[in-house]
A and B are shown apart, each in its own frame.
Chain A
């Protein structure tokens, strides 16, 4: 569900590209990047038992 939510966020970022102001696109892009990084860290450290 977390991965599906990130894809929805990516779609939201795409939708904001149609807006006149670019701030919302950049904010959503940054949030998506952070969430992808956190999900990657979660899966990368899963076997180590770090419970990230």
Chain B
């Protein structure tokens, strides 16, 4: 194996680690939501979106180089450009939420994980993505993944499935949380769709009781 091929493989492997790492962070947020019964606020959901958009860049490179087998250099720069744009947006969102709770005595939103709140961790994650993207692009053609048409291996398929499941999980979770409301409240306290369903059932049962009383 020559040096070029080895670097190629390492770079391709790191792209998978990147996507799976971001998915791991979002799954961690899911665990806090489900096990810790902490509903994500609108800014938390926006940070999840920005994270998935930042992971869309390496996913784009993986799909383009392994399935389509296209011009690797232009796809490589496009993918990292996508990640940089998304992480700048994510930094703005998580930075804004961090500043909202920065005053002394403010308990912050939700519980802390390893001493930091989730939005502070999100800020760190976006900063790391930005640094890694910048360093990779600065390395020039050193880290460019070569075209690998028809070589979608097991790792690529696993990464692809995990990424799509995480997105779909967020679709379901967000829909259950927001219900038929256009926007989430600043501090959501319950799953709106379940609440609306309960109210619908209560209204039906009370209407049924009234019709029985009228019939009697």
Q: When chains A and B are docked, how far (Å) is the Cα of A22 from the Cα of B180?
A: 34
Measured between alpha carbons, how far is A11 from B179 in the docked complex, in Å? 20
Residues of chain B within 8 A (CB-CB) of A8 are 171
A48 interface residue, CB < 8 Å from B? Answer: no
Are A36 and B182 interface neighbours, CB within 8 A? no
Main secondary structure of the interface of B (DSSP, over half): helix
Q: Which listed residue (A18, A22, A32, A39) contacts B70, Cβ 8 A?
A: A22
**Quick check: A7 and B63 within 8 Å, CB to CB?**
no
Stretch at the interface among B3-11, B112-120, B160-168, B199-207: B160-168
Contact call A29/B53, Cβ cutoff below 8 A: yes
Q: Would A36 and B89 count as touching, CB distance under 8 A?
A: yes
Within 8 A of B (CB), among A1-52: 1-4, 6-8, 10-11, 13-14, 17-18, 20, 22, 25-26, 29, 32-33, 36-37, 39-40, 42-44, 46
| Interface segment out of the listed B28-36, B41-49, B122-130, B136-144 | B41-49
How far does the alpha carbon of A40 sit from the alpha carbon of B184 in the complex, in Å? 12
Q: Are B52 and A22 in contact (CB under 8 A)?
A: no
Question: Of the candidates B82, B168, B183, which one forms a contact with A2 in the assembled complex, judged by CB atoms under 8 Å apart?
Answer: B183
In the complex, A40→B88 CA distance in Å? 13
A40 with B93, Cβ < 8 A, contacts A20-B68, A29-B53 known: yes
Docked-complex contact B53 and A10, CB < 8 angstroms: yes
Q: Is the CB of B46 within 8 A of A43?
A: yes
B residues near A36, Cβ cutoff 8 Å: 46, 49-50, 53, 89
Q: Which residues of A contact B183 (CB under 8 A)?
A: 2-3, 42-43
Q: List chain A residues, Cβ under 8 A from B49.
A: 3, 6-7, 10, 32, 36
B197 at the interface (CB under 8 A from A): no
Q: Which A residues contact B (CB, under 8 angstroms)?
A: 1-4, 6-8, 10-11, 13-14, 17-18, 20, 22, 25-26, 29, 32-33, 36-37, 39-40, 42-44, 46
Known: A7-B170, A14-B56, A14-B167. 17 other contacts (CB 8 A): A1-B181, A3-B178, A7-B49, A7-B167, A7-B171, A10-B52, A11-B171, A17-B56, A17-B59, A17-B60, A17-B64, A22-B60, A22-B70, A33-B86, A36-B49, A40-B46, A40-B96
